[in-house]
A and B are shown apart, each in its own frame.
Chain A
């Protein structure tokens, strides 16, 4: 059964993000793993692929940009969604250059990210 589920990795150093997002996405039928440090998330990425990665960009002692760069290197077809509280045009542009699927500025509504994830999922399935 787990095989059919779309898998999502969430990385954000603010615990509340995972705490709110994980159960909400699980209820929608996604398989979700959440991390608050990029070290753990990077280790996990080396072990397995996720269909969708949701990551913050600016975190204490962590560079989300490095993380998403690594994800896209290793799994070009993983869709990456960037969430950040410091949205600037420059960072948005840079992330789109790296092949990021979409960019959401915090705070956002649960419904907004659910929509973005649904679109990413559709593109992934359509692409296959």
Chain B
């Protein structure tokens, strides 16, 4: 099946795979290598059965390559430097500014209405990318592992050697930040009642 047509079909998803790898690795060269390995594996194997979409299948291969890359990186002596800064990202005090002393909303969420139209627009997905890229590195990595690679929480904890509690805090952070980013940049002005 490794013909030119299949190769070009696979190549359509290269940009997506690269974005996803970059968000998890925060190392453009490494992300490039990992995507290259993914594409080579996709072309050399006979694994694509057509049961899932090509994109989903490629993402599955990428997942293993990314996890391998993270493992390798964590064994390096300078791992602390490249994967550091986690403690700072575990601090959720900054989101507490959204709430008053008793934990009530200071700036209540806006009504996003029926988002179906938005979700089908290419610009909305570009905005998602923009918001994902604004996340702190570890936060983006964990969120992508969870929501795009669809790894189980205990797998993520094991690979990144973090506790379940840390994981929940990081994912909470990610969702709060994405929510805020989308509200400010996409949904603002759609009848915000304040």
A-B interaction: no
